[in-house]
Amino acid sequence: MSVLVTGATGFIGSTLARKLVQRGEKVALLVRKPSKLHAIEDILDSVELRYGDVTDLESLKSATRGIDYIYHCAGKAYIGPRRTQELYAINVQGTKNVIAAAEQNHVKRLVYTSSISAIGITGTKQPADETQPWNLDKLNVPYYISKHLAEEEVRKAAQNRLDCVIVNPSYVFGAGDINFNAGQLIRDLYYHKIPVYPTGGICVADVDDVAEGHIAAMERGKTGERYILGGENLTYKHVFDIICRVVGAPKVLIPLSESIVKIFLALTAQARRLHRITALANREILLSATKFFYFSSEKAKRELGFDNRHSVGDAFVETIARAFSWYRSRQLI
């Protein structure tokens, strides 16, 4: 059995690739030329590198030849007003290309790494599940839209011709976040760049739990179904308090409500000035952070046997500690 992981130099993809190697799988990794391989340098002797790009269909047709199973983790994660064309090229067209290549080479199953941003929110603190209608178009965030559209492509493929399963990771923390996705929050709080906390909340998850959830989806997921891979639902205040305690930074004490955000964003010069301080300060992130992105992983637990033990309670504090230690050991913070 041969397995291909796209996005293997990224956070979730590299963690997943490492776990597959540990399980003794025959693993191939899709990487671009040239590509930084720091995230997977410890497993390079145990994997096959296949060169290609999700935006290049012909390269994918070659890279997927002889492959039985694909984990499509590649994607562009950027929440902001720019890079819209790049987001659509990688997240939407890239996913269509992976599907087309998988079909041509008779891949047996594809697990697609979507996002909770492709699922709607309830508008309250009530966690959403996989049946929640998508309603994030109201926020007009290109990344959210691109993940929603990409998931639609996977769902169509599953209905027509290809065995596909969708996983929707939540806000993922942990060691190995080399591109500072959720880790940007750890870095900015460590450097005292965030003076306020948003009044919304998020569903947090540990990267190891999420990677194991991918494997469970490949083994036990139902064709065409989506599975939320998350952990505890926490207010931003709670998340900030945990991170500040771990990194030794002072607590953030000033709340930032949605009404204040809207007033602030109306003062565009001030908004641009703050964005120079931290990449987390833009319209899309600030408005999203006043909402409650709370989600339930009960379906994944029930159908996949998903275990999110590292994503709740004191274990999540340890997840943050591991992430911070990983950054410090590499002098990234």
Reported as a pLDDT band with limits 50, 70 and 90, residue 283 is low
- Please check the confidence at residue 87 and state whether its pLDDT lies above 60: yes
pLDDT of residue 251: 94
Pull the structure tokens for residue 102: 């998988």
Q: What percent of the chain has pLDDT over 70?
A: 91
State how beta strands 201-206 and 171-173 pair: parallel
CATH 3.40.50.720 given to domain 2-171+205-230+296-308:
yes
Pull the structure tokens for residue 64: 């997927």
pTM of the predicted model, to two decimals?
A: 0.92
pLDDT of residue 247: 96
Rounded mean pLDDT of 58-76? 96
Q: Which single residue is written with the structure tokens 């007009």?
A: 140
Reported as a pLDDT band with limits 50, 70 and 90, residue 277 is very low
pLDDT tens, position by position, 20-58: 999 999 999 999 877 788 888 899 999 999 999 999 999
User: Dihedrals φ, ψ of 70, to 5°?
Assistant: -125, 130
**C-alpha separations of 115 from 77, 87, 134, 170 in Å:** 10, 14, 12, 6
Please state the domain extents for the chain.
2-171+205-230+296-308
Residues 6 or more apart whose CB falls under 8 angstroms from that of 45 comprise: none
Q: For residue 313, what is the enclosing H or E element?
A: helix 313-329
pLDDT tens, position by position, 220-258: 999 999 999 999 999 999 999 999 999 999 999 988 777
Mean pLDDT of the chain: 91
pLDDT tens, position by position, 165-221: 999 999 999 999 988 889 999 999 999 998 889 999 999 999 999 999 999 999 999
pLDDT of residue 38: 86
- Please check the confidence at residue 9 and state whether its pLDDT lies above 50: yes
Q: Which single residue is written with the structure tokens 């929707």?
A: 168
* Residues labelled catalytic: 143
